[in-house]
Structure 1
């Protein structure tokens, strides 16, 4: 049972958690951080929303999906979305390493280039970000699946 204090703290803390997670994700190929810690932080923020408001709130209010009256928790659309996110992340992470093999380079090679954007004059685009994104999806998908299944027990 959640309280008004928990819901208020959740509304204030979750955006900060998501911004921090995004910053850690972006700095991961140059500094400590990356897909794993960003995924753990994102899953923690979503877990806080789940604890404060419940899975039905996420389904109906946030994602605008109707859930049936007698649908079991494990069959929620979100839980199957978490499983799909895990599978997509695993495919992206493995594919990022295999792409270099297809180009005749060693598995998990690393490449980068520089680009210019309107807000950033000089920004590095690294191939490691693709691998980090795959790891991010695997971590978020697996942690939220585990949380949802264990939460039903």
Structure 2
């Protein structure tokens, strides 16, 4: 059976050599450095000063209680081509045809459930450890509503 798009992405992601420039842990344990965690090709593409700048931003955000901290804009542009596939980041957009535009206008809740956000960018469904709301509500299985007597 062929792999789905998300499975292919995960497979390529696991083949990337993620880590810090020093080789020490970024956030775990006593020897944690707080450095930016990047794929090897992205780490190698950055100069020492660029890596220091992105790590500084990461430490500042972490200190403020943020788990995810954006990179400085120029550095993000430089490293983006080394993430996901060899061709760079795969855009997560669904084409917005006339019918979808009309649906979004008339029934925005339905359009949102179908994976469309503002501007036609598709949300990534069931990413990571997230659990869809229906599974949380119904215990992961199909349940029939209880009839009132």
TM-score normalised by structure 1 residue count: 0.28
Q: Using CA pairs below 8 Å that are at least 6 residues apart, which structure has the higher relative contact order?
A: 1
TM-score normalised by structure 2 residue count: 0.28
Greater Rg by CA = 2
